[in-house]
Structure 1
Amino acid sequence: MSLSPHRAAFTREDAETRRLALIEACAACLAEQGVGGASVRTICARAGVSPGLLRHYFDGIDALVAATYRHVTHTVNDALAAAVAAAPPEPRARLIAYTTASFRAPIADPALLATWIAFWSLVKADPAIAAIHAETYGGYRAALEALLAECGVSAMERHGAAIGLTALVDGLWLELTLDPASFPADQASALAVRWVDALLGG
């Protein structure tokens, strides 16, 4: 007897749910135990699936880690895009929304920092992770350059300005997520806004 369309749709949804559960479990294990603690058995136990099921969705643990990195970067990119979409239409406001979104949830999260550190540790050793890293930071800087162009920053200055602003945001985000109590989000945002205004005013 053939499966009905309703049953087939349910099966596809269930498969995607299990795949996402493995990705989320991998991210949690990386955050809590680092790369060394992210084993097939540990991840599958956290996801509530059998170890053999991981191979059904991913070509091994390395592929799952790479998929997890890509999933995390998509989550960050979605948050940045949402911040810009919610900002007033003025170019300066859109640029500030993009830069300061990193200092609020879901990006300003100590668990995300711990996961990100695990990914960073693999950049030099894993070509797949290195490629995702290059794509991620290249996309972030490209978005910044587009927003800077909207603000009237010249083509000659945009690339360097985007690199500098990326470094500033990364540094502030790192300090904020390492110790939120001693370095509040509003201070990080104020520093970023001051830098943006100095750039645009100059």
Structure 2
Amino acid sequence: MTAARQAFTRESADARRAALIEATAAVLAEQGLAGTNVRAICAKAGVSPGLLRHYFDGINDLVAATYAATSDRMDAIFAVAVAGAGPDPRARLMAYLTASFRPPVTDPELLGAWTAFWALARSDARMAAIHATSYAGYRERLRELLDACGAADAGRLAIMLTAMVDGLWLELSLDAASFGAEAAASMVEKAVAALLD
């Protein structure tokens, strides 16, 4: 008689790390920095508190990993938007800029997590470095898209348009009824037309 196989399989280390990162983003979104602790994160992830230390060097390490993962997720969303816009340089630029006004970027949970990351970037060197890398990458990809449209001084335009998109995204995320996603996209489109034409 052979031994029966176990009825379960252990999750991979990558899957457990990802679950902890996802739970951290959710707790940050729901409870803010003040309510984000090991117990709340592990309860959200459905794991014991000891497991967090197995995969991360503590809560600060986990929050930093969550910021980096969230930034990577946003990069992937913007890349998909650009790829889906076809070969026209202006269409690709607009897809990149206006992806911030559609789900999943407008998910209210993302706003909660993102504002926590921004707050931490002001006081924590590691979070500041993640923020700097993330925003530099976004602006560089935007500069490349502006270059493809023949923009003069694309680097400065990338900074300006990034600030505009961030402001509109923040307002839209706080109060979607105030002007709406289509209005935000239209504002950006008019700004781009004025800058490029």
The bucket for the TM-score relative to the shorter chain is over 0.9
Percent identical pairs in the alignment equals 58
1:186 matched residue in structure 2: 182
Structure 1 outlier segments of 4+, above 4 Å: none
Q: Output the CA distance in 1 between the equivalents of 2:127 and 2:119.
A: 10
How do residues 22-171 of structure 1 correspond to structure 2 at under 5 angstroms?
Answer: 22-154=20-152, 157-171=153-167
Given that 1:76 and 1:106 are in contact with CA atoms closer than 8 Å, whether structure 2 keeps it comes out as no
> 2:32 & 2:98 partners in 1: Cα distance?
28
Separation of aligned partners in 2, 1:196 and 1:149: 13
Structure 1 stretches of 5 or more lacking a match?
A: 1-6
Residue identity opposite 1:196 in structure 2: V
Flag the structure with higher helix content.
1
Aligned length: 190
**From 186, 192, 196, the counterpart of 2:192:** 196
For residues 23 and 171 of structure 2, the distance between their equivalents in structure 1, rounded to whole angstroms, comes to 26
**Distance across 1 between alignment mates of 2:196 and 2:46:** 51
Instruction: Provide the rounded CA distance (Å) in 2 between the counterparts of 1:163 and 1:125.
Output: 23
Q: Which amino acid aligns with 2:96?
A: Y
The residue number in structure 2 matching 1:3 is none
Partners of 1:21 and 1:159 in 2: how far apart?
A: 37
Q: CA RMSD in A?
A: 1.3
Q: Which of 164, 168, 175 does residue 172 from structure 1 map onto? A: 168
TM-score, normalisation: structure 1: 0.91
Question: Could you tell me which amino acid in structure 2 is paired with residue 146 of structure 1?
Answer: E
